[in-house]
């Protein structure tokens, strides 16, 4: 595909529509940027060549004008010296040089028009490229924000889960401790009752002994 065809494709392209249809919009926009940059390089290279041709044509035009002035001066000198024959030859040479100026003027005008068109094309693609790069940066920024938000959400979920797990562990430890305390308290109570019963039995034995001695 020629550079002009690529230029038309780029300028006429509906970037948003292409991105909407793309399976991988980020990859698509990177390819667009690369294509535009390559096209810009070719357009600028072509414009530089046209500008070089224009500069050469203008230089030749100026040289021919100077040559015409020299022949005019020679014709005037010949007339002043009474040499009409030489004056005639000088004017003929001047006319021959003048005939070479007309195609140069046409070439200069054509080159200037082509350069103007090339500059316009370059400006259009540079504007389109800037717009696409901005869209790409927006996509990258959104993707980065989404990743950052995902990291934050994941961290928060993990942090919350960890806190709940820690609280549940504390509750479990407290329940186990309370259960153990209840068991210990119950055991102490049972032994205390046994000890009281034993003391009561001992007192009863003493009373029995006393009662038996009186009989």
Eight-class DSSP state of 82: T
Mean pLDDT, rounded, of the chain: 78
Residue 8 predicted with pLDDT over 60: no
Residue 109 CB-half CA count within 13 A: 6
Q: Is 7 a residue whose pLDDT tops 50? A: no
Rounded mean pLDDT, 119-139: 85
Q: What is the DSSP letter of 2?
A: -
Q: What is the pLDDT of residues 18-72, one digit of tens each?
A: 565 656 667 777 888 888 888 889 889 989 999 999 999 999 999 999 999 999 9
SS3 track for 138-154: HHHHHHHHHHHHHHHHH
Per the CB < 8 A criterion, the answer to whether 72 and 42 are in contact is no
- Residue 156: predicted pLDDT: 63
| Whole-structure pTM value | 0.54
Query: Mean of the pLDDT values across residues 176-197?
Result: 66
pLDDT value at residue 121: 86
Average pLDDT over residues 97-124: 91
What are the DSSP calls for 17-54, one per residue? Answer: HHHHH-SSHHHHHHHHHHHHHHHHHHHHHHHHHHHHHH
Residue 91 backbone dihedrals phi, psi, to 5 degrees: -65, -35
Q: pLDDT at residue 196 above 80? A: no
If you average pLDDT over residues 80-103, what whole number do you get? 92
């Amino acid at each position: 595909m020629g550079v002009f065809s690529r230029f038309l494709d780029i300028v006429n392209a509906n970037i948003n529509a292409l991105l909407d249809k793309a399976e991988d919009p980020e990859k698509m926009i990177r390819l667009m940027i690369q294509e535009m940059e390559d096209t810009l390089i070719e357009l600028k290279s072509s414009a530089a060549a046209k500008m070089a041709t224009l500069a050469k044509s203008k230089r030749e035009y100026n040289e021919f004008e100077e040559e015409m002035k020299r022949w005019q001066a020679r014709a005037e000198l010949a007339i002043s010296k009474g040499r009409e024959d030489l004056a005639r030859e000088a004017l003929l040479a001047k006319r021959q040089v003048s005939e070479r100026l007309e195609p140069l003027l046409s070439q200069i005008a054509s080159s200037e028009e082509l350069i103007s068109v090339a500059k316009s094309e370059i400006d259009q693609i540079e504007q389109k490229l800037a717009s696409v790069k901005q869209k790409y940066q927006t996509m990258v920024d959104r993707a980065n924000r989404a990743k950052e938000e995902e990291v934050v959400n994941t961290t928060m979920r993990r942090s919350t889960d960890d806190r709940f797990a820690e609280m549940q562990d504390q509750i479990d430890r407290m329940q186990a401790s309370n259960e153990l305390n209840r068991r210990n308290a119950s055991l102490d109570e049972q032994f205390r009752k046994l000890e009281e019963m034993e003391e009561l039995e001992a007192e009863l034995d003493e009373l029995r002994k006393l009662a038996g001695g009186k009989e």
